[in-house]
Amino acid sequence: MAIAAQTLDILGERQSGQDVRTQNVVACQAVANIVKSSLGPVGLDKMLVDDIGDVTITNDGATILKMLEVEHPAAKVLVELAELQDREVGDGTTSVVIVAAELLKRANDLVRNKIHPTSIISGYRLAMREACKYVEEKLAVKVEKLGKDSLINCAKTSMSSKLIGSDSDFFANLVVDAVQAVKTTNARGEVKYPIKGINILKAHGKSAKDSYLLNGYALNTGRAAQGMPTRVAPARIACLDFNLQKTKMQMGIQVLVTDPRELEKIRQREADITKERIEKIRKAGANVVLTTKGIDDMSLKYFVEAGAIAVRRVRKEDLRHVAKATGATVVSTFADMEGEETFDSSFLGYADEVVEERIADDDVILVKGTKNTSAVSLILRGANDFMLDEMDRSLHDALSIVKRTLESNMVVAGGGAVEAALSVYLEYLATTLGSREQLAIAEFAESLLIIPKVLAVNAAKDATELVAKLRAYHHTAQTKADKQHLSSMGLDLSKGTIRNNLEAGVIEPAMSKVKIIQFATEAAITILRIDDMIKLVKDEQQNEED
């Protein structure tokens, strides 16, 4: 029998066995319960207020968990899990956390019933592989010649749970147009959709429906001086990552001056260095200069005289995207191999034109007709900051989903259809196995039902009844050969009935579902493996020395 907190020879306490497991599972359940109510087309939003009083109102699982600053080490695994899902797929962050927590809870019950964690882990792994195979072979539908409809439906499904769900018709079209605008084919002939090339600009005012798509990459800053032209065409763009200000001596350099007249010369030289640098950029042919740092008034004068547009304090990532789209090189120093200062024209990027326009109350710089990839910008309008931020997050999810659909070409029915089908399938699979993994697989099958259950509960419908009906349909679909089409039956949450979600246009990329299952299983296994926790006590003396 494990003693709850043994004292060790090292400074710290150790918990082992069932206590740790229960504690970890409880912590994960707590995290999952926070995001649970935000799942689904009728999910509710969360309002998070951080330590300095900033408010975030969001429905995005990854964002909620990131803002929570979870302390518990096992619960942190779930937070990382949501971030991973966000990076890999972009949507489904809430689902993945809920499934992982449910898997853990079930596994914990099995361990209590004297089943060894190793058996459970191998059972879960087997179930995961079978589930993914089943999704890809039986449930996924190829989107033949990707009609625009299926893309729009995917975008709508992704947005349905978000703030902009009510205007999803409008935004889905916007998203699909944006993703298709950045289509590129790489050297190996694969078609890619780099959604990083879609810049999202938030401008106050008007209503959400007044958002629109702009051709060109928009920078949320104006020209550095009024005397500059508002339009340059064709543009040759220099992307810099240093200050164009009067050069100052480095720290720690001492200059001993015997003659006060020399001081003036030093100052003059400092001013000239910057002037020379600007001359070099101008000579290389640049007529648009973007820099992440500052440009002081003296330097601006030179740009105004040359009739070039200079923009200062550009966000680093914006600069990178512009550089990528126009084929420019981000230059962080003028020094070359010989220690001389040079600027080569090969560093410049090309675009058809760079213009400054006024959007709402802000000046923005648009880079149009870029050389490599076509860049587009979504200009979001909305009543206030919270709304705009949330629209931004929702659109990020939708853009990612459309990208995944286009790149993988496979979709599955949404609304709990996949989970119900897998649950029925895996349950049957479990009964055919004579090994110890049988129980674990049966529990895995049960766990997947958490998604349709939570969806129904959030929609204020009778979850037990709906899930039972749903499973009955899927059982028929899998046992009767002529009833195959029933495998896309899912929940209709506005009416509280069961319908064919493929026909109703509630669809998601198959890849998103597969990743959810894989990631959730891996996370559950990671936490399930832990049976010992040693917390070290900080050494008092060390602290004092520090």
Round to whole Å and give the CA distance between 150 and 80: 31
Residue 436 identity (one-letter amino acid): R
pLDDT, residue 292, reads 85
pLDDT at 216 over 80: no
Per-residue confidence band for 8, with pLDDT thresholds at 50, 70 and 90 = low
**What is the CB-side half-sphere exposure of residue 320 using CA atoms within 13 A?**
4
Residue 40 has pLDDT above 80, yes or no: no
Q: Which of 37, 58, 53 is CA-nearest to residue 387?
A: 58
- The reported pLDDT for the residue numbered 221 is 79
Q: Stretch 413-420: mean pLDDT, rounded? A: 86
Q: Rounded mean pLDDT of 92-101?
A: 90
Q: How confident is the model at residue 313 (pLDDT cuts 50, 70, 90)?
A: confident
Claim: this prediction has a pTM higher than 0.75: yes
> Of all residues in the chain, what percent carry a pLDDT higher than 90?
7
The tens digit of pLDDT for each residue in 422-466 reads: 999 999 888 888 888 888 999 999 999 999 898 888 888 888 898
Which range, 94-98, 301-305, 313-317, has the best average confidence (pLDDT)? 94-98
Tokens at 394, concatenated: 């929702």
| Predicted local confidence at residue 228, as pLDDT | 80
Rounded Cα distance between 173 and 168, Å, is 8
462 has catalytic annotation: no
Both tokens of 223, joined, read 């020209």
Q: Which domains does the chain have, with CATH numbers?
A: 18-142+412-530 (1.10.560.10), 147-212+380-407 (3.30.260.10), 217-373 (3.50.7.10)
Taking only the tens place, the pLDDT of each residue in 128-140 is 999 999 888 888 8
* Out of 41-55, 97-111, 356-370, least confident range: 356-370
Query: Given 94, 157, 274, 292, which residue is catalytic?
Result: 94
Convert the pLDDT of each residue in 398-408 to its tens digit.
Answer: 888 888 888 88
Find out whether 215 and 351 touch, Cβ atoms under 8 Å.
no
Catalytic residue among 45, 60, 91, 492: 60
Most confident of 73-87, 261-275, 325-339: 73-87
Q: What is the pLDDT of residue 519?
A: 92
- Are 521 and 124 in contact by the 8 Å Cβ rule? The answer is yes
Q: Mean pLDDT score of the chain, rounded to an integer?
A: 82
Q: Which pLDDT tens digit goes with each residue over 358-390?
A: 877 778 888 887 776 677 888 888 888 888 888
pLDDT above 80: residue 250: no
| Catalytic entry in 56, 58, 63, 93 | 93
In angstroms, the CA 294 to CA 304 distance is: 16
pLDDT of the residue at 6: 57
* pLDDT of 99: 92
Query: pLDDT at position 1, please?
Result: 54
Judge whether 93 counts as a catalytic residue. yes
Cα angle 140, 132, 467 (rounded to 5 degrees) comes to 75
**Predicted confidence (pLDDT) at residue 540 exceeds the cutoff of 70:** no
Which residue out of 45, 318, 389, 397 is catalytically annotated?
A: 397
Average pLDDT rounded to a whole number, residues 270-289: 80
